């Protein structure tokens, strides 16, 4: 199937070899009718793999084996489809955003409405799939990491639905800032453990989840929340999100009769983006854009623009781009959006960046918040702040497309699909604080100052 | 206990030029299990690590394991992570590991291994790091998050420079992986005693012996047990079936609470447990 992954056996590939990749690779594959879709891992070019303690390799093998068999089992795929349809509310809509499009150079803009899924974001696709996998393995307990609480809430939801015990690791600082999301997880029956190790952020929550997993791997599945980590997580998480791109491709063809010129998504660990991109990977005329968190500006050092400024390294089980100092210590990332505030990125994105199939650009906090406001006011949709990065990116891409028209072409001939990965309910306090909408003495003002995301 | 042929030529058994193997064989010849002591570099500062390493060597440790403080130590429990966070806060940088190794190897004849998560090595470059380690007199590397499957470059460079490659095996390791890991190792094989992370435990459990036996059966001549060992009684219990016993958290806590003198004292106490019961001596 995919010749490029012919040496994907763990022994075979020379994963440590190269930082640089032949830029013509994507072109070569496509011109030979080879597909970039369904890349099975463990390697995506020089990225991916399993940089993990031996203690966990057996669990990763079991997971991979269970996942492979599940994919081939019609009963499993039917179960996933059923939950997607009758629990999560799929297919999600594809909504044309005509008034927002005026801010995008006048090109046509379509929003893939993952915000309308149960729990309010794309995260539900992955947690339902992985919780089913956990049950197939006979595990009774799932653990998860969370930053602001989105993936924690989604995991707690899936665990409640399927009768699994759920433990969520969350940085101690975040548990204070996100007290309402902690309560939400607890209402769903989950236990939230504040992480006091290291920098007490999302990456440390992942470290503690891994430590729990090593000690409890007999009973426990680690329900990783993004398309990163050791094999098979990147390809498995992508698999459960592929429904985004598959639906979007069908919907855009149905609504416009053609494929889009560009597809935009925000990139934290990369799960919503890879799920969306996957539907279009082999459509060589569709440009793919991933927007990373530029924080206060990439020149300030306070950002999470991993692909833009990181260097290849290993963290949490995969080789990929990584924000690291010259000693190889992981650097702290910064973003107004908790969901993008991660110093690593999924390995398939690193590969797609190197071969030039997808482009990755930083969006600053300020640019994202401007797009947040514009979408809210032009379309009546309050996006997640993560998603606002994709929207700000779409505004830039649209303006570029409009500036670059061929003779006889009009801006309205151009089409962009944006993955609206989540809704902004959780971000209302942050946004209200940012736009100074709160009276000085309100309780919310205090919360917003601490960066609370409700 | 199991006896092993000494002419086995696989990398897993290759003792020629291995400093770690020599240290363990010397202990074996004296009727002892080797005692291996761990401390993180730069906790609380580089000179103290050197002094504590020398103190360990002078008080009964056969092999010294120095950890590189790392931002994301997923195989370490709270005590070691706290120490490494402090080392980093105190300004430890990766190249100083070579000063530590050199400082200890110059003053003692203990073999010194570096325990490191893989990213700092990758960042410096596997070859550069290895050459500097060899130049400092280091024996090799213990690599908690590097499995042989991903280690192509390290296998090649370590072979060339004669450095030890200590990979980990665990209670969960399959027979195939056990064989592959033993074959890829040089010096000794690190048997993880329990499914868990570093930290003192009152008991290391029965799983440890099964891991050691499996590694021996796969042809490993030297198998050392780590994770959770904190007393001479545990050293004695494990030393009865393993070729070496690794103590980490307890020594780090001793250094934290009582300085170099406390490390020396704990080392003396631990070393009283290394004598093999006569029937088990394999010398
Ligand atoms: C709405 C939303 N979008 C995007 C992300 C970023 O994650 P990923 O890059 O895995 O899609 C998050 C993470 O919490 C999120 O909540």
What pLDDT was estimated at residue A20?
Answer: 41
pLDDT bin (cut points 50, 70, 90) of residue B255 is very high
Ligand 1 atom 13: residue of nearest CA:
A339
Record: contact A53-B75, CB cut-off 8 A: yes
Kindly state whether residue B28 falls inside one of the protein's structural domains.
no
Kindly state whether residue B258 falls inside one of the protein's structural domains.
yes
Kindly state whether residue B116 falls inside one of the protein's structural domains.
yes
Q: pLDDT tens across A164-173, in order?
A: 999 999 999 8
* Identity of the residue in A50, A54, A198 whose CB atom sits nearest the CB atom of B169: A54
Reported ipTM: the value is: 0.92
- Count of structural domains within chain B: 1
A194 Cα to the center of ligand 1, angstroms: 21
Between the alpha carbon of residue A344 and those of residues A223, A453, B249, the distances in Å are: 17, 22, 29
What pLDDT was estimated at residue B283?
Answer: 39
Residue A314: phi and psi, rounded to 5, are: -120, 135
Q: pLDDT tens across A190-249, in order?
A: 999 999 988 888 999 999 999 999 999 999 999 999 999 999 999 999 999 999 999 999
Kindly state whether residue B283 falls inside one of the protein's structural domains.
no
For residue A42, cis peptide bond before it (omega within 30 degrees of 0): yes
Q: Span B198-222, mean pLDDT?
A: 89
Q: Inform me whether the pLDDT recorded for A276 exceeds 70.
A: yes
Ligand 1 atom 1: residue of nearest CA:
A422
Alpha-carbon gap: A188 to the closest alpha carbon of chain B (Å): 28
Kindly state whether residue B27 falls inside one of the protein's structural domains.
no
Most confident of A23-27, A344-348, B78-82: A344-348
* Identity of the residue in B78, B169, B197 whose CB atom sits nearest the CB atom of A214: B197
Kindly state whether residue B12 falls inside one of the protein's structural domains.
no
User: Measured from the CB, is residue A266 less than 6 Å from ligand 1?
Assistant: yes
Ligand 1 atom 7: residue of nearest CA:
A268
B76 is catalytic: yes
The active-site residue, picked from B25, B51, B76, B243, is B76
* CATH number, position B234: 3.20.20.70
What pLDDT was estimated at residue A31?
Answer: 60
A239 Cα to the center of ligand 1, angstroms: 16
Q: Inform me whether the pLDDT recorded for B55 exceeds 70.
A: yes
What pLDDT was estimated at residue A3?
Answer: 36
Which of A20-24, A80-84, B62-66, B156-160 shows the lowest per-residue confidence on average (mean pLDDT)? A20-24
What pLDDT was estimated at residue A447?
Answer: 63
What pLDDT was estimated at residue B198?
Answer: 80
pLDDT bin (cut points 50, 70, 90) of residue B281 is very low
Is A24 an interface residue toward B (CB < 8 Å)? no
Kindly state whether residue B20 falls inside one of the protein's structural domains.
no
Strand order through the sheet with A311-315: A43-44, A47-51, A317-322, A311-315
Residue A275: phi and psi, rounded to 5, are: -65, -40
- What is the 3-state composition of chain A as percent helix, strand, coil, each rounded to the nearest 5? 45, 20, 35
pLDDT bin (cut points 50, 70, 90) of residue A29 is low
Percent of chain A exceeding pLDDT 90 equals 85
Q: Is B245 exposed, middle or buried (CB count within 10 Å of its CB: 0-12, 13-18, 19+)?
A: buried
- Model-level pTM? 0.93
User: Measured from the CB, is residue A422 less than 6 Å from ligand 1?
Assistant: yes
Ligand 1 atom 10: residue of nearest CA:
A271
pLDDT bin (cut points 50, 70, 90) of residue A107 is very high
A340 Cα to the center of ligand 1, angstroms: 6
What pLDDT was estimated at residue A211?
Answer: 94
Q: pLDDT tens across B260-279, in order?
A: 999 999 999 999 999 987 54
The active-site residue, picked from A123, A139, A396, A414, is A123
- For a pocket test of ligand 1, which of A150, A335, A372 has the largest count of ligand atoms closer than 8 A to its C-beta? A150
User: Measured from the CB, is residue A190 less than 6 Å from ligand 1?
Assistant: no
Record: contact A198-B147, CB cut-off 8 A: no
What pLDDT was estimated at residue A33?
Answer: 64
Q: Which domain holds residue B78?
A: 33-271
> Which ligand 1 atom is at minimum distance from the Cα of A115?
1
A155 is catalytic: no
What pLDDT was estimated at residue B199?
Answer: 78
Residues near B19 by Cβ (< 8 Å), separated by ≥ 6? B111, B139, B140, B164, B187
Residue of B nearest to A8 (CA): B149
Residue A69's closest CA among A119, A12, A137, A155?
A137
Average pLDDT value for chain B:
92
Structure tokens at B164: 């030890």
pLDDT bin (cut points 50, 70, 90) of residue B73 is very high
Kindly state whether residue B243 falls inside one of the protein's structural domains.
yes
Q: What is the DSSP string of B185-231?
A: -BS-EEEE-SSS-S---S---THHHHHHHHHHHTT-S-EEEESS--S
Q: Span A367-389, mean pLDDT?
A: 98
What pLDDT was estimated at residue A445?
Answer: 66
Q: Span B27-46, mean pLDDT?
A: 98
Average pLDDT value for chain A:
91
- For a pocket test of ligand 1, which of A121, A243, A268 has the largest count of ligand atoms closer than 8 A to its C-beta? A268
Q: Is A69 helix (H, G, I), strand (E, B) or coil?
A: helix
Q: pLDDT tens across A399-444, in order?
A: 999 999 999 999 999 999 999 999 999 999 899 999 999 887 776 6
Residue A147: phi and psi, rounded to 5, are: -95, -85
pLDDT bin (cut points 50, 70, 90) of residue A68 is very high
């Amino acid at each position: 199937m995919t010749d490029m992954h012919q040496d994907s056996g763990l022994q075979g590939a020379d994963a440590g070899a190269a930082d640089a990749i032949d830029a013509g690779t994507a072109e070569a594959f496509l011109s030979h009718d080879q597909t970039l879709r369904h890349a099975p891992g463990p390697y995506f070019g020089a990225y991916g793999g399993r940089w993990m303690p031996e203690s966990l390799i057996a669990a990763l093998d079991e997971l991979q084996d269970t996942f492979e068999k599940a994919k081939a089992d019609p009963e499993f795929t039917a179960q996933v489809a059923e939950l997607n349809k009758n629990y999560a509310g799929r297919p999600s809509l594809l909504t044309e955003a005509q008034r927002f499009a005026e801010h995008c150079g006048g090109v046509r803009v379509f929003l893939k409405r993952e915000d309308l899924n149960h729990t309010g974001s794309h995260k539900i696709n992955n947690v339902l799939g992985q919780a089913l996998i956990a049950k197939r393995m006979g595990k009774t307990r799932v653990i998860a990491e969370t930053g602001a609480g989105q993936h924690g809430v989604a995991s707690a939801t899936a665990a409640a639905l399927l009768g699994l015990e759920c433990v969520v690791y969350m940085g101690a600082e975040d548990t204070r800032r996100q007290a309402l999301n902690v309560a939400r997880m607890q209402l769903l029956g989950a236990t939230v453990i504040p992480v006091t190790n290291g920098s007490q952020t999302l990456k440390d929550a992942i470290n503690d989840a891994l430590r729990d997993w090593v000690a409890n791997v007999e009973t426990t599945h680690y329900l990783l929340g993004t398309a990163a980590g050791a094999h098979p997580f990147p390809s498995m998480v992508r698999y459960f999100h592929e429904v985004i791109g598959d639906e979007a491709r069908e919907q855009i063809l149905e609504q416009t009769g053609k494929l889009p010129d560009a597809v935009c998504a925000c990139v934290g660990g990369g799960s919503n983006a890879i799920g969306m991109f996957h539907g279009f990977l082999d459509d060589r005329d569709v440009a793919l854009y991933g927007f990373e968190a530029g924080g206060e500006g990439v020149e300030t050092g306070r950002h999470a623009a991993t692909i833009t400024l990181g260097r290849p390294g290993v963290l949490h089980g995969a080789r990929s781009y990584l924000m690291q100092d010259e000693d190889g210590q992981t650097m702290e990332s910064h973003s107004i959006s908790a969901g993008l505030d991660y110093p690593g990125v999924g390995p398939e994105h690193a590969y797609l960046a190197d071969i030039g199939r997808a482009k990755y650009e930083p969006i600053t906090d300020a640019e994202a918040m401007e797009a947040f406001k514009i979408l809210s006011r032009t379309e009546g949709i309050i996006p997640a702040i993560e998603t606002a990065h994709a929207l700000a990116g779409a505004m830039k891409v649209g303006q570029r497309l409009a500036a670059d028209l061929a003779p006889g072409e009009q801006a309205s001939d151009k089409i962009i699909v944006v993955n609206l990965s989540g809704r902004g309910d959780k971000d209302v306090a942050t946004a209200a604080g940012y736009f100074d909408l709160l009276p000085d003495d309100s309780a919310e003002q205090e919360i917003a100052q601490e960066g609370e995301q409700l | 206990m199991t006896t092993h042929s000494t002419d086995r030529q696989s990398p897993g058994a290759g003792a020629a030029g291995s400093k770690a193997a020599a240290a363990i064989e010397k202990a074996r010849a004296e009727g002892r299990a080797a005692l291996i002591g761990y401390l993180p570099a730069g906790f609380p500062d580089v000179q103290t690590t050197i002094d504590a390493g020398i103190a360990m060597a002078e008080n009964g440790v056969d092999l010294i394991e120095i950890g590189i403080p790392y931002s994301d130590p997923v195989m370490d429990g709270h005590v070691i992570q706290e120490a490494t966070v402090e080392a980093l806060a105190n300004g430890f940088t990766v190249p100083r590991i070579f000063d530590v190794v050199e400082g200890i190897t110059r003053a003692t004849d203990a073999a010194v291994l570096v325990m490191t998560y893989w990213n700092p090595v990758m960042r410096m470059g596997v070859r550069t790091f290895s050459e500097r380690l060899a130049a400092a007199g280091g024996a090799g590397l213990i690599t908690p998050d590097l499995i042989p499957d991903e280690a192509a470059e390290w296998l090649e460079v370590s072979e060339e420079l004669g450095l030890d490659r200590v990979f980990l095996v665990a209670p969960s390791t399959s027979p195939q992986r056990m064989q592959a890991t033993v074959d890829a190792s040089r010096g000794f094989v690190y048997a993880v005693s329990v499914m868990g992370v570093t930290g003192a435990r009152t008991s290391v459990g029965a799983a440890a012996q099964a891991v050691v036996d499996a590694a021996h059966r796969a042809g490993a001549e030297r198998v050392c047990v780590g994770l959770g060992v904190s007393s001479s009684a545990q050293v004695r219990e494990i030393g009865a079936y393993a070729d070496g016993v690794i103590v980490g958290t307890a020594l780090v806590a001793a250094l934290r609470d009582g300085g170099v003198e406390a490390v020396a004292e704990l080392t003396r106490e631990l070393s009283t447990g290394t004598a093999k019961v006569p029937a088990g001596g394999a010398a």
